[in-house]
Amino acid sequence: MKIHLVFGLITVLLLVIVISSRQRETVGFDQVAAAALKMAQEDYLTASPALPRSLRELTADQYKLIRWNDEKTLWRKEGLPFQVRFFHPGHVYDRQIDIYEVNKQGTQKKTYSRQSFEFDPRLEGLKFFNVIGYAGFRLMYPINRPEQLDEVLRFLGGSDFQAVAKGLVLGAKSRALVIDPDHKDQPAEEPVFTSFWLRRPDTFSSQFTLLALLESRSVTGAYSFEVEPGAETRVRVRARLYFRRKVDKVGYAPLISMFWFGENTSNTFGDFRPEVHKSDGLLFQTDSGEWVWRPLSWIESPQVNIFANAGPKGYGLMQRDRDFSHYQDLNSLFHQMPSVWVQPVKGFNQGAVSLLQQPTQNDQADNVMAYWSPSVSPRPLEPVEIEYVLRWMTYNPELPPVGRCVSTRVDLQDEANRREIFLDFAGGPLDKVKQGEMPVPEVLSPNGAAAISNVKIERNEFGKSWRVSFLAERTGDKKPIELRCRVLVNGNPASETWTYTWNP
């Protein structure tokens, strides 16, 4: 045998040994972070192969005709409490990702299989060249009934993910992070998850752990997700990020939702539904402990509200209105969509909570984003560590523990310089007001752009709440006009602070 053939065989054997050894390794957060650092030091390459045109051009309805074969569900045969189903690439989900199973024996890549899907006969002429991976996955768990697996977590598209609590349906999303989210001249940069490692659960597991590798032109990062489904589903997120370049603004722990119109909108745009939204407001608690509520609203132009503080104790996009009659939607089930709360653990220091709202003419696109931004931009290749808990829920009496604004109604919307506001407050100390006591509303325009008059408060026995009403009149040329209101009992705050932006 010739000497070069001998060396060739030795090289092949060594490669097989190395690969086998690596497959037996259990991947952890530090290994993913090391890969992210190495990638950050290299040029950004979009490695996902282009999908066939027939898959890319599928409409949303056509894409739904590609169904998962339940018999192929990961960990189904083992009867484990957590099981995984994959999404086929296509439609707007054209990026293919790498997915690995991590168990005691090592790490195994989950290769794409067309036999894992059922294709409706109406999908004629689909091509599958360059299809080598999946677009995302859903995590199944018996959250509602012991004998039935329901979707509790979904990763599909970019770095977006959704979770639900018991009795709820998918609604608002979270995202790993966003770069330059409110830049006027260019769209925001949205990093993507390119690889996932799913840790095989035990027979009696009530928690599920997965890792993810994030990348974009400006950043790479390692993410860890610890998922605990229940009456309140909690997702503990840990991230280590490396920025390739200096960025103007970064938004951590962004929440994404949709608001078209609600009780504070006079126009329903010819739609039969009284309200259409996945979330109806932003709630946050400042570093000083103040609870602030900002109802979402229909707007004609992009609007950004920035709430600076030394470090929020939490923020979230909430869906407070749970009355089906207020939506009348049997398909979307807006009244069963979750509120999502971000509870900071590490890395949320001096900065600001921002709310970005975009105009919309339908309910098809998410147009609301809330996120936290540090006051100092991260330095290139300097590791950034953040940690937080995402809480997906129906209702929590501690968010806030004081009275909350349960409805916002705006009158005189056909007049340019006047608005009459009606607010209902309930809960907390407001439910315990003693006979003879009278709550006192405190209303002001912080930027002095409006005169406040006719301030009243009265008991609303029908809603078991306190109704505050007042008239706001424009006093100058300042735009926009900011309004604030809270309710006091015996001189102490008994409610959250309601805030509102009026654009004459």
- Quote the pLDDT of residue 311: 84
Q: How far apart are CA 375 and CA 387, in angstroms?
A: 17
**Greatest CA separation for the chain:** 104
Position 397 confidence tier, pLDDT thresholds 50, 70, 90: very high
Which segments within 350-504 are labelled E, that is strand? 351-357, 368-374, 384-393, 404-411, 418-426, 440-444, 450-460, 465-474, 481-489, 492-493, 497-502
Q: What are phi and psi of 166, to 5 degrees?
A: -55, 130
Summarize the confidence of residues 39-55 as an average pLDDT: 88
Q: Is the pLDDT of residue 8 over 90?
A: no
For the domain bounded by 404-502, which CATH number is listed?
Answer: 2.60.40.10
Give which of 157, 197, 154, 158 is closest to 177, Cα–Cα. 158
State pLDDT tens for residues 50-91.
Answer: 899 999 999 999 999 999 999 999 999 999 999 999 999 999
Q: Is the pLDDT of residue 326 over 60?
A: yes
Poorest-pLDDT segment among 3-17, 130-144, 338-352 = 3-17
- Quote the pLDDT of residue 21: 42
Residue with tokens 């299989």: 113
Q: How far apart are CA 284 and CA 456, in angstroms?
A: 26
- Quote the pLDDT of residue 47: 64
Q: Is the pLDDT of residue 22 over 80?
A: no
Poorest-pLDDT segment among 19-28, 63-72, 222-231 = 19-28
Position 503 confidence tier, pLDDT thresholds 50, 70, 90: confident
Q: Is the pLDDT of residue 322 over 50?
A: yes
3-state DSSP call for residue 41? coil
Position 10 confidence tier, pLDDT thresholds 50, 70, 90: very low
Position 2 confidence tier, pLDDT thresholds 50, 70, 90: very low
- Quote the pLDDT of residue 23: 53
Q: Which residue has the higher pLDDT, 343 or 9?
A: 343
Give which of 348, 265, 264 is closest to 311, Cα–Cα. 348
Whether the Cβ atoms of residue 93 and residue 60 lie closer than 8 Å to each other? no
Task: Look over the chain and give the mean of its residue pLDDT values, rounded to a whole number.
Answer: 93
Q: Is the pLDDT of residue 211 over 90?
A: yes
Whether the Cβ atoms of residue 293 and residue 281 lie closer than 8 Å to each other? yes
Q: Which CATH architecture has domain 29-393?
A: Distorted Sandwich (2.70)
- Quote the pLDDT of residue 16: 30
Poorest-pLDDT segment among 10-19, 245-254, 339-348, 428-437 = 10-19
Q: Is the pLDDT of residue 323 over 90?
A: yes
Amino acid at 286: T
Whether the Cβ atoms of residue 189 and residue 216 lie closer than 8 Å to each other? yes
Enumerate the β-bridge partners of residue 226: 209, 236
Whether the Cβ atoms of residue 360 and residue 301 lie closer than 8 Å to each other? no
Q: Would you list the domain boundaries of the chain?
A: 29-393, 404-502
Whether the Cβ atoms of residue 303 and residue 501 lie closer than 8 Å to each other? yes
Residue % of the chain over a pLDDT of 70: 95
State pLDDT tens for residues 135-162.
Answer: 999 999 999 999 999 999 999 999 999 9
Q: Is the pLDDT of residue 299 over 70?
A: yes
Q: Is the pLDDT of residue 395 over 90?
A: yes
Position 15 confidence tier, pLDDT thresholds 50, 70, 90: very low
Q: Is the pLDDT of residue 390 over 50?
A: yes
- Global pTM value: 0.92
- Quote the pLDDT of residue 435: 84
State pLDDT tens for residues 104-136.
Answer: 999 999 999 999 999 999 998 899 999 999 999
Q: Is the pLDDT of residue 11 over 60?
A: no
